[in-house]
Amino acid sequence: MTFHLRPTQFVDTPFTHPDGGVARLAGGMLWFAAYEVIEGSRRKTVPVAEIANLGPGAAAIHARITAPRAALTIGERTLRFDQPMVAGILNVTPDSFSDGGTLQDDPEVAAAAGVAMAAAGAAMIDVGGESTRPGAALVWEGDEAKRVSPVIERLLRAGTLVSVDTRKGAVMEAALALGPVIVNDVSALLWDERAAGIVARANAPVILMHSPDPKRGPHGGDGYANVLTEVYDWLEARIEAVVAAGIDRAKVIVDPGIGFGKSLADNLALINGLALFHGLGCPVMLGVSRKRLIGALSGEAPVAERLGGSIALAVKGAEAGVQILRVHDVAETVQALRVWRGLRDRALVG
């Protein structure tokens, strides 16, 4: 039976523990003292110091969990993963669930909004031209490229690090032709059979997001027996597949796909178990900003009134070692992370 390791028993500082008693998570700002070992329906806790007793498979996962994530050089910009950062969401669509229609018709205004998010502390701007909300209409790739390209071009000229949120190869090609960008695909390069080759030839970084059945769309699927390990195993298989297609594993980022083909209970289980995904050996992105689960837990709060829940989930992600938080409310999230980091820095020195 296969097993999974989830870091647990996080500690404020490694200096009060014996050598080998704690491990550093992905070269970041967190240390942990134990693993939850998941074998099917069985779970047990094993101290970090005893992980070698579980055999070479566990040692290999432990090595991936603790290895620092290599920085990405994207054009003249460097993206480091030793502390949590923010990706600002910039939708140039008429129908996105949160801000659809506000920026679609004027590339100058949209790009200015992206530059403002970067000035507020966003490490990258994620530009999307097609809504992925449930029931959204499919956008022809030519129209999608026309929406995002002029915005991406202006952001790159301004020196902003950009990712393009698309599942279509033609849109990826259009964005990559403008300069170095990250490809963020909600279908993990499965929607368009050309996508993996396009990313590989461009040597571009890619974000692979989980959804249950990408060919049916991001909200398909038939449920889970164990959502945490099933999403993990699916992402692991996708990483191996894109590496086989020629994509550098060091340029792969993973996203568990909160809200995509998952129930409220599934989403909460994934968020509570986020640290498991460090076993994939890749940086982790978390996208929970203004999502439906916040409304479900707060008296059906409408989208515009989900800031508090979005911040709570962002901090939860930081506490699990997530490296990228994809958000609408950049300034507020950056402030929350700065306070969180101040607390971490003070705890580290005792």
- What are the residue numbers of the active site? 291, 326
For 206, list phi and psi in degrees, rounded to 5. -140, 140
Cα–Cα distance between 94 and 143 in angstroms, integer? 12
Residue indicated by tokens 């191996």: 240
* Closest among 85, 125, 87, 136 to 103, alpha carbons compared: 125
Is there a contact between 267 and 259 (Cβ–Cβ < 8 Å)? yes
What's the token pair of residue 327? 């958000």
**Three-state SS string across the chain, please?**
CCCEEEEEEEECCHHHCCCCCCEECCCCCCEEEEEEEEECCEEEEEEHHHHHHHCHHHHHHHHHHHCCCCCEEECCEEECCCCCEEEEEEECCCCCCCCCCCCCCCHHHHHHHHHHHHHCCCCEEEEECCCCCCCCCCCCHHHHHHHHHHHHHHHHHCCCCEEEECCCHHHHHHHHHHCCCEEEECCCCCCCCCHHHHHHHHCCCEEEECCCCHHHCCCCCCCCCCHHHHHHHHHHHHHHHHHHCCCCHHHEEEECCCCCCCCHHHHHHHHHCHHHHHHHCCCEEEECCCCHHHHHCCCCCCHHHCHHHHHHHHHHHHHCCCCEEEECCHHHHHHHHHHHHHHHHHHHCC
The region, left, alpha or beta by phi > 0 then psi within -120 to 50, assigned to residue 193 is: alpha
